[in-house]
A = this chain, B = another copy of it.
Amino acid sequence: MRMRSAERMLHKEVRTKADGRRLILYGREPVTADGAPSPSPDRIDSAAHFRWHPFRGEWVAYAAHRQHRTFLPPPDYNPLAPTADPAQPTEVPAGNYDVAVFENRFPTMHPEASEAPASLTPTRPALGVCEVVVYTQDPSTSLGALPVDHIDVVLEALADRYRELGGRPDIAYVMPFENRGVEVGVTLHHPHGQLYAFPFIPPVAAVELGRQADYYRDHGAGLLQAHIDAELRDGRRMLFAGNEAVGFVPSFARYAYEAWIAPRRAAPSLAALAAGERRDVARALKTVLLKYDGLWNKPMPYVMVFHQAPTDGKAHPEAHLHIECYPAYRMPGRLKYLAGSELGAGVFTSDTLPEAKAADLQAVQVDLGEGVSGVEGVGTG
Residues on A close to B: CB < 8 A? 51-65, 106, 108, 119-121, 175, 177-179, 184-186, 194, 196, 198, 202-208, 210-212, 215, 223-224, 227, 230-231, 234, 251-254, 303-305, 324, 326, 335, 337-341, 343-354
A211 touches B178 (CB 8 A): no
List of B residues within 8 angstroms of A351 by Cβ: 62-65, 106
A55 to B57, CA, bound (A): 19
A64 touches B305 (CB 8 A): no
A321 to B344, CA, bound (A): 14
A25 to B300, CA, bound (A): 44
Nearest-neighbour CB distance to chain B for A210, whole angstroms, equals 8
B184 touches A339 (CB 8 A): yes
A339 touches B303 (CB 8 A): yes
Nearest-neighbour CB distance to chain B for A212, whole angstroms, equals 7
* Count of chain copies: 2
A350 touches B303 (CB 8 A): no
A198 touches B57 (CB 8 A): no
A337 to B328, CA, bound (A): 11
A205 touches B345 (CB 8 A): yes
B119 touches A202 (CB 8 A): no
Q: Which residue of B lies closest to A338 (CB)?
A: B338
B212 touches A252 (CB 8 A): no
Nearest-neighbour CB distance to chain B for A332, whole angstroms, equals 16
Task: Give the contacting residue for A60; candidates B58, B119, B347; CB below 8 A.
Answer: B347
List of B residues within 8 angstroms of A54 by Cβ: 211, 215, 223, 227, 252
Task: Give the contacting residue for A347; candidates B52, B58, B179; CB below 8 A.
Answer: B58
Nearest-neighbour CB distance to chain B for A316, whole angstroms, equals 14
A61 touches B350 (CB 8 A): yes
A235 to B354, CA, bound (A): 48
B352 touches A179 (CB 8 A): no
A61 touches B337 (CB 8 A): no
List of B residues within 8 angstroms of A253 by Cβ: 60
Can you sample 14 A-B contacts with CB below 8 Å? Answer: A54-B227, A57-B211, A58-B346, A59-B347, A60-B253, A60-B349, A61-B350, A62-B349, A62-B353, A64-B353, A106-B351, A175-B344, A185-B337, A196-B345
